[in-house]
Amino acid sequence: MRVLVIGAGAWGTALAVSAARDGHRRVSLWSRDVAQASEMRSLRQNRRYLQGMDLPVGLHIAHAGDGPLAALAQAQDLVVVGTPMAGLRSTLSALAGVRVPVVWLCKGFETAQPGAQGLLGHEIWAQIAPQHLPEARCGVLSGPSFAQEVARGQPTALVAASPHADVRDAMVRAFHGPSLRVYANDDMVGVEVGGAVKNVLAIATGLCDGLQLGLNARAALITRGLAEITRLGLALGARADTFMGLSGLGDLVLTATGDLSRNRKVGLLLAQGQTLQQAVDSLGHVAEGVYCARTVVQRARHLGVDMPIADAVVALLDGALRPDEAVGRLMGRDPAAEL
Protein backbone atom coordinates (compact mmCIF):
# COMPACT_ATOMS: atom_id res chain seq x y z
CA MET A 1 0.00 0.00 0.00
CA ARG A 2 1.27 3.50 -0.86
CA VAL A 3 0.58 6.21 1.74
CA LEU A 4 1.50 9.89 1.54
CA VAL A 5 1.51 11.98 4.75
CA ILE A 6 1.52 15.73 4.05
CA GLY A 7 2.94 17.89 6.85
CA ALA A 8 5.99 16.85 8.86
CA GLY A 9 4.95 18.19 12.26
CA ALA A 10 4.86 16.04 15.37
CA TRP A 11 1.72 14.10 14.49
CA GLY A 12 2.27 13.63 10.77
CA THR A 13 5.78 12.38 11.46
CA ALA A 14 4.70 10.05 14.28
CA LEU A 15 2.02 8.39 12.16
CA ALA A 16 4.33 8.10 9.15
CA VAL A 17 6.96 6.48 11.39
CA SER A 18 4.37 4.10 12.83
CA ALA A 19 3.00 3.11 9.40
CA ALA A 20 6.47 2.71 7.88
CA ARG A 21 7.50 0.17 10.52
CA ASP A 22 5.40 -2.31 8.54
CA GLY A 23 7.61 -3.13 5.58
CA HIS A 24 4.59 -3.88 3.36
CA ARG A 25 3.66 -0.21 3.15
CA ARG A 26 5.41 2.37 1.03
CA VAL A 27 5.13 5.50 3.19
CA SER A 28 6.20 9.02 2.15
CA LEU A 29 6.34 12.03 4.48
CA TRP A 30 6.05 15.39 2.67
CA SER A 31 7.27 18.70 4.10
CA ARG A 32 6.65 22.12 2.57
CA ASP A 33 9.96 23.13 4.17
CA VAL A 34 12.77 21.97 1.87
CA ALA A 35 15.49 22.61 4.48
CA GLN A 36 13.63 20.56 7.10
CA ALA A 37 13.12 17.71 4.62
CA SER A 38 16.79 17.75 3.58
CA GLU A 39 17.81 17.52 7.23
CA MET A 40 15.40 14.63 7.79
CA ARG A 41 16.88 12.86 4.77
CA SER A 42 20.44 13.20 6.02
CA LEU A 43 19.98 12.81 9.81
CA ARG A 44 17.01 10.39 9.64
CA GLN A 45 15.41 12.38 12.46
CA ASN A 46 12.84 15.18 12.65
CA ARG A 47 14.70 17.28 15.20
CA ARG A 48 12.31 20.23 15.12
CA TYR A 49 9.08 18.32 15.82
CA LEU A 50 9.94 14.83 17.11
CA GLN A 51 13.28 15.10 18.84
CA GLY A 52 15.25 11.89 19.39
CA MET A 53 13.07 9.59 17.26
CA ASP A 54 14.80 7.68 14.44
CA LEU A 55 12.94 7.59 11.12
CA PRO A 56 12.59 4.01 9.79
CA VAL A 57 14.88 3.23 6.85
CA GLY A 58 11.88 2.63 4.58
CA LEU A 59 10.25 6.03 5.24
CA HIS A 60 10.64 8.17 2.13
CA ILE A 61 11.05 11.92 2.71
CA ALA A 62 9.54 14.20 0.07
CA HIS A 63 9.38 17.99 -0.14
CA ALA A 64 7.94 20.93 -2.03
CA GLY A 65 10.98 21.01 -4.35
CA ASP A 66 10.27 17.51 -5.69
CA GLY A 67 7.44 18.63 -7.96
CA PRO A 68 3.71 19.30 -7.77
CA LEU A 69 2.05 17.88 -4.67
CA ALA A 70 -0.99 16.74 -6.69
CA ALA A 71 1.20 14.58 -8.96
CA LEU A 72 2.80 12.86 -5.96
CA ALA A 73 -0.63 12.40 -4.35
CA GLN A 74 -2.11 10.90 -7.51
CA ALA A 75 0.43 8.04 -7.31
CA GLN A 76 -0.77 6.90 -3.83
CA ASP A 77 -3.48 4.65 -2.41
CA LEU A 78 -4.20 7.04 0.48
CA VAL A 79 -3.32 10.71 1.09
CA VAL A 80 -3.16 11.88 4.71
CA VAL A 81 -3.14 15.61 5.49
CA GLY A 82 -1.17 16.14 8.71
CA THR A 83 -1.16 19.95 8.82
CA PRO A 84 -2.93 21.95 11.52
CA MET A 85 -6.48 23.18 10.69
CA ALA A 86 -4.95 26.42 9.41
CA GLY A 87 -3.31 24.51 6.55
CA LEU A 88 -6.20 22.22 5.65
CA ARG A 89 -8.06 24.45 3.17
CA SER A 90 -4.95 25.34 1.15
CA THR A 91 -3.79 21.70 1.14
CA LEU A 92 -7.18 20.41 0.01
CA SER A 93 -7.18 23.06 -2.74
CA ALA A 94 -3.75 21.85 -3.90
CA LEU A 95 -5.15 18.28 -3.98
CA ALA A 96 -8.39 19.15 -5.82
CA GLY A 97 -8.99 16.68 -8.65
CA VAL A 98 -6.74 13.95 -7.18
CA ARG A 99 -8.47 10.58 -7.62
CA VAL A 100 -7.26 9.09 -4.33
CA PRO A 101 -9.07 9.14 -0.95
CA VAL A 102 -7.90 12.09 1.16
CA VAL A 103 -8.10 12.00 4.96
CA TRP A 104 -6.86 14.44 7.59
CA LEU A 105 -5.53 14.37 11.13
CA CYS A 106 -6.23 17.90 12.33
CA LYS A 107 -8.60 18.51 15.21
CA GLY A 108 -10.39 21.81 15.16
CA PHE A 109 -12.72 24.22 13.43
CA GLU A 110 -11.27 26.63 10.93
CA THR A 111 -10.74 30.06 12.52
CA ALA A 112 -13.84 32.10 11.67
CA GLN A 113 -13.28 34.97 9.24
CA PRO A 114 -15.34 38.16 9.72
CA GLY A 115 -18.87 37.59 8.44
CA ALA A 116 -18.38 33.83 7.93
CA GLN A 117 -18.62 30.73 10.11
CA GLY A 118 -15.51 28.67 10.87
CA LEU A 119 -15.89 25.19 9.42
CA LEU A 120 -15.04 21.61 10.32
CA GLY A 121 -12.81 19.62 7.96
CA HIS A 122 -15.63 17.83 6.15
CA GLU A 123 -17.39 21.17 5.58
CA ILE A 124 -14.24 22.70 4.04
CA TRP A 125 -13.88 19.59 1.90
CA ALA A 126 -17.47 19.92 0.65
CA GLN A 127 -16.69 23.46 -0.55
CA ILE A 128 -13.62 22.37 -2.53
CA ALA A 129 -13.30 18.76 -3.64
CA PRO A 130 -16.63 17.80 -5.23
CA GLN A 131 -16.47 20.88 -7.47
CA HIS A 132 -13.40 19.33 -9.11
CA LEU A 133 -14.28 15.63 -8.80
CA PRO A 134 -17.87 14.69 -7.86
CA GLU A 135 -16.84 11.19 -6.72
CA ALA A 136 -14.05 12.49 -4.41
CA ARG A 137 -14.01 10.75 -1.00
CA CYS A 138 -12.64 11.87 2.36
CA GLY A 139 -12.24 10.85 5.98
CA VAL A 140 -10.63 11.75 9.29
CA LEU A 141 -8.32 9.84 11.62
CA SER A 142 -8.73 10.89 15.24
CA GLY A 143 -8.78 9.63 18.83
CA PRO A 144 -6.64 9.81 21.99
CA SER A 145 -3.04 9.93 20.82
CA PHE A 146 0.08 11.84 21.78
CA ALA A 147 2.56 11.87 18.92
CA GLN A 148 5.55 10.94 21.08
CA GLU A 149 3.85 7.77 22.38
CA VAL A 150 2.75 6.63 18.91
CA ALA A 151 6.24 7.23 17.52
CA ARG A 152 7.72 5.14 20.35
CA GLY A 153 5.28 2.32 19.53
CA GLN A 154 3.33 2.58 22.82
CA PRO A 155 -0.15 1.01 22.62
CA THR A 156 -2.72 3.41 21.16
CA ALA A 157 -6.26 3.19 19.72
CA LEU A 158 -7.54 5.51 16.99
CA VAL A 159 -10.79 5.94 15.11
CA ALA A 160 -11.01 6.09 11.32
CA ALA A 161 -14.15 7.96 10.34
CA SER A 162 -15.71 8.38 6.93
CA PRO A 163 -19.13 7.90 5.39
CA HIS A 164 -17.39 5.73 2.78
CA ALA A 165 -16.50 2.13 3.72
CA ASP A 166 -13.54 1.98 1.32
CA VAL A 167 -11.99 5.10 2.89
CA ARG A 168 -12.40 3.64 6.38
CA ASP A 169 -10.79 0.42 5.18
CA ALA A 170 -7.92 2.32 3.57
CA MET A 171 -7.16 4.10 6.87
CA VAL A 172 -7.24 0.80 8.76
CA ARG A 173 -4.92 -0.84 6.22
CA ALA A 174 -2.56 2.14 6.32
CA PHE A 175 -2.20 2.44 10.09
CA HIS A 176 -3.50 -0.61 11.98
CA GLY A 177 -0.61 -2.61 13.46
CA PRO A 178 0.77 -4.37 16.55
CA SER A 179 0.85 -1.18 18.66
CA LEU A 180 -1.87 0.84 16.92
CA ARG A 181 -5.48 -0.35 16.80
CA VAL A 182 -7.67 1.53 14.35
CA TYR A 183 -11.44 1.26 14.81
CA ALA A 184 -13.85 2.29 12.06
CA ASN A 185 -16.79 4.71 12.50
CA ASP A 186 -19.11 6.13 9.84
CA ASP A 187 -20.01 9.20 11.95
CA MET A 188 -17.45 11.64 10.59
CA VAL A 189 -19.29 14.68 12.00
CA GLY A 190 -19.25 13.29 15.54
CA VAL A 191 -15.59 12.30 15.33
CA GLU A 192 -14.64 15.77 14.07
CA VAL A 193 -16.67 17.60 16.72
CA GLY A 194 -15.15 15.50 19.53
CA GLY A 195 -11.59 16.09 18.29
CA ALA A 196 -12.13 19.83 17.95
CA VAL A 197 -13.99 20.72 21.13
CA LYS A 198 -11.91 18.60 23.52
CA ASN A 199 -9.00 20.98 22.82
CA VAL A 200 -11.01 23.93 24.16
CA LEU A 201 -12.00 21.95 27.24
CA ALA A 202 -8.40 20.86 27.86
CA ILE A 203 -7.49 24.55 28.19
CA ALA A 204 -10.16 24.74 30.90
CA THR A 205 -8.88 21.70 32.83
CA GLY A 206 -5.30 22.95 32.54
CA LEU A 207 -6.43 26.19 34.08
CA CYS A 208 -8.38 24.35 36.77
CA ASP A 209 -5.34 22.25 37.72
CA GLY A 210 -3.00 25.23 37.52
CA LEU A 211 -5.23 27.10 39.95
CA GLN A 212 -5.25 23.98 42.18
CA LEU A 213 -9.03 23.88 42.29
CA GLY A 214 -8.89 20.15 43.03
CA LEU A 215 -9.72 16.76 41.57
CA ASN A 216 -13.47 17.17 42.08
CA ALA A 217 -13.42 20.31 39.95
CA ARG A 218 -11.46 18.58 37.19
CA ALA A 219 -13.88 15.63 37.09
CA ALA A 220 -16.81 18.06 36.96
CA LEU A 221 -15.23 19.99 34.08
CA ILE A 222 -14.56 16.83 32.07
CA THR A 223 -18.07 15.48 32.60
CA ARG A 224 -19.91 18.73 31.94
CA GLY A 225 -17.50 19.35 29.06
CA LEU A 226 -18.53 16.06 27.50
CA ALA A 227 -22.16 17.20 27.81
CA GLU A 228 -21.24 20.39 25.89
CA ILE A 229 -19.44 18.43 23.15
CA THR A 230 -22.42 16.09 22.82
CA ARG A 231 -24.98 18.92 22.61
CA LEU A 232 -23.02 20.69 19.87
CA GLY A 233 -22.37 17.44 18.02
CA LEU A 234 -26.04 16.44 18.01
CA ALA A 235 -27.01 19.89 16.71
CA LEU A 236 -24.49 19.45 13.88
CA GLY A 237 -25.89 16.03 12.94
CA ALA A 238 -23.63 13.63 14.88
CA ARG A 239 -24.72 10.45 16.69
CA ALA A 240 -24.74 10.52 20.50
CA ASP A 241 -22.87 7.22 20.95
CA THR A 242 -19.82 8.55 19.06
CA PHE A 243 -19.15 10.83 22.05
CA MET A 244 -18.78 7.78 24.33
CA GLY A 245 -16.02 6.51 22.04
CA LEU A 246 -12.36 7.18 21.34
CA SER A 247 -12.81 10.58 19.72
CA GLY A 248 -15.24 11.76 22.43
CA LEU A 249 -14.72 10.62 26.01
CA GLY A 250 -11.39 8.98 25.13
CA ASP A 251 -9.70 12.03 23.66
CA LEU A 252 -11.27 14.41 26.16
CA VAL A 253 -9.87 12.43 29.10
CA LEU A 254 -6.42 12.15 27.50
CA THR A 255 -6.10 15.79 26.52
CA ALA A 256 -7.69 17.21 29.66
CA THR A 257 -5.49 15.20 32.03
CA GLY A 258 -2.32 14.28 30.10
CA ASP A 259 0.64 16.59 30.64
CA LEU A 260 1.88 15.99 27.07
CA SER A 261 -1.11 18.02 25.83
CA ARG A 262 -0.31 21.44 24.36
CA ASN A 263 -3.86 22.66 24.99
CA ARG A 264 -3.78 21.63 28.64
CA LYS A 265 -0.38 23.34 28.91
CA VAL A 266 -1.88 26.63 27.67
CA GLY A 267 -4.36 26.48 30.57
CA LEU A 268 -1.61 25.66 33.07
CA LEU A 269 0.51 28.59 31.84
CA LEU A 270 -2.42 31.03 31.93
CA ALA A 271 -3.04 29.98 35.53
CA GLN A 272 0.58 30.90 36.29
CA GLY A 273 -0.14 34.42 35.08
CA GLN A 274 1.40 34.17 31.60
CA THR A 275 -0.28 36.07 28.80
CA LEU A 276 -1.86 34.05 26.00
CA GLN A 277 0.91 35.14 23.64
CA GLN A 278 3.61 34.01 26.09
CA ALA A 279 1.86 30.66 26.56
CA VAL A 280 1.47 30.04 22.82
CA ASP A 281 5.05 31.14 22.06
CA SER A 282 6.51 28.75 24.63
CA LEU A 283 4.87 25.66 23.03
CA GLY A 284 6.67 25.50 19.67
CA HIS A 285 3.67 23.45 18.41
CA VAL A 286 0.10 24.28 17.51
CA ALA A 287 -2.55 24.30 20.29
CA GLU A 288 -5.72 24.12 18.21
CA GLY A 289 -8.06 25.01 21.08
CA VAL A 290 -6.67 28.56 21.14
CA TYR A 291 -7.59 29.06 17.47
CA CYS A 292 -10.97 27.35 17.39
CA ALA A 293 -12.52 28.28 20.77
CA ARG A 294 -14.24 31.37 19.33
CA THR A 295 -15.57 29.41 16.38
CA VAL A 296 -16.94 26.71 18.69
CA VAL A 297 -18.82 29.34 20.67
CA GLN A 298 -20.08 31.11 17.53
CA ARG A 299 -21.33 27.89 15.96
CA ALA A 300 -22.98 26.89 19.25
CA ARG A 301 -24.74 30.27 19.59
CA HIS A 302 -25.92 30.08 16.00
CA LEU A 303 -27.48 26.68 16.74
CA GLY A 304 -28.89 27.72 20.14
CA VAL A 305 -26.59 25.31 22.00
CA ASP A 306 -25.56 26.22 25.56
CA MET A 307 -21.77 25.83 26.13
CA PRO A 308 -20.87 27.68 29.35
CA ILE A 309 -17.40 26.14 29.75
CA ALA A 310 -16.39 26.96 26.18
CA ASP A 311 -17.84 30.48 26.69
CA ALA A 312 -15.66 30.94 29.77
CA VAL A 313 -12.55 29.75 27.89
CA VAL A 314 -13.18 32.31 25.14
CA ALA A 315 -13.69 35.12 27.65
CA LEU A 316 -10.41 34.11 29.26
CA LEU A 317 -8.48 33.90 25.97
CA ASP A 318 -9.89 37.29 24.95
CA GLY A 319 -8.75 38.78 28.26
CA ALA A 320 -12.36 39.65 29.16
CA LEU A 321 -12.17 37.53 32.35
CA ARG A 322 -9.37 36.69 34.79
CA PRO A 323 -9.00 32.99 35.71
CA ASP A 324 -10.63 33.46 39.13
CA GLU A 325 -13.51 35.37 37.53
CA ALA A 326 -14.05 32.55 35.01
CA VAL A 327 -14.36 30.05 37.87
CA GLY A 328 -16.77 32.38 39.66
CA ARG A 329 -18.90 32.71 36.55
CA LEU A 330 -19.16 28.93 36.05
CA MET A 331 -19.90 28.19 39.73
CA GLY A 332 -22.38 31.07 39.97
CA ARG A 333 -24.72 29.72 37.33
CA ASP A 334 -28.29 28.86 38.30
CA PRO A 335 -28.99 25.25 39.36
CA ALA A 336 -29.85 23.03 36.41
CA ALA A 337 -30.99 19.49 35.62
CA GLU A 338 -28.07 17.18 34.86
CA LEU A 339 -29.57 15.51 31.78
Ligand X SMILES: O=P(O)(O)OC[C@H](O)CO
Ligand Y SMILES: NC(=O)c1ccc[n+]([C@@H]2O[C@H](COP(=O)([O-])OP(=O)(O)OC[C@H]3O[C@@H](n4cnc5c(N)ncnc54)[C@H](O)[C@@H]3O)[C@@H](O)[C@H]2O)c1
Segment near ligand Y (CB under 6 A); pick from 3-11, 17-25, 228-236, 266-274: 3-11
The whole-angstrom separation of Cα 308 and Cα 253 is 19
Segment near ligand Y (CB under 6 A); pick from 9-17, 55-63, 207-215, 239-247: 9-17
Q: Are 29 and 67 in contact (CB under 8 A)?
A: no
- 18 labeled part of a ligand binding site: no
Segment near ligand X (CB under 6 A); pick from 43-51, 253-261, 269-277, 324-332: 253-261
CA 44 to chain centre: 26
The whole-angstrom separation of Cα 260 and Cα 116 is 33
User: Does 201 help bind ligand Y (rule: CB under 6 A)?
Assistant: no
Q: Catalytic residue, from 198, 265, 294, 299: name it.
A: 198
Rounded to the nearest whole angstrom, what is the least distance from the CB of residue 214 to ligand Y in the complex?
Answer: 27
- Is 198 considered catalytic here? yes
Rounded to the nearest whole angstrom, what is the least distance from the CB of residue 315 to ligand Y in the complex?
Answer: 23
User: Does 250 help bind ligand Y (rule: CB under 6 A)?
Assistant: no
User: Does 89 help bind ligand Y (rule: CB under 6 A)?
Assistant: no
Q: Which residues pair with 108 in a beta bridge?
A: none
- 251 labeled part of a ligand binding site: yes
Annotated binding site for sn-glycerol 3-phosphate: 107, 143, 145, 198, 251, 261-263
Interface contacts to ligand X, rule CB under 6 A = 107, 144-146, 199, 202, 251, 254-255, 261-263, 287
- Give catalytic residues, as residue numbers: 198
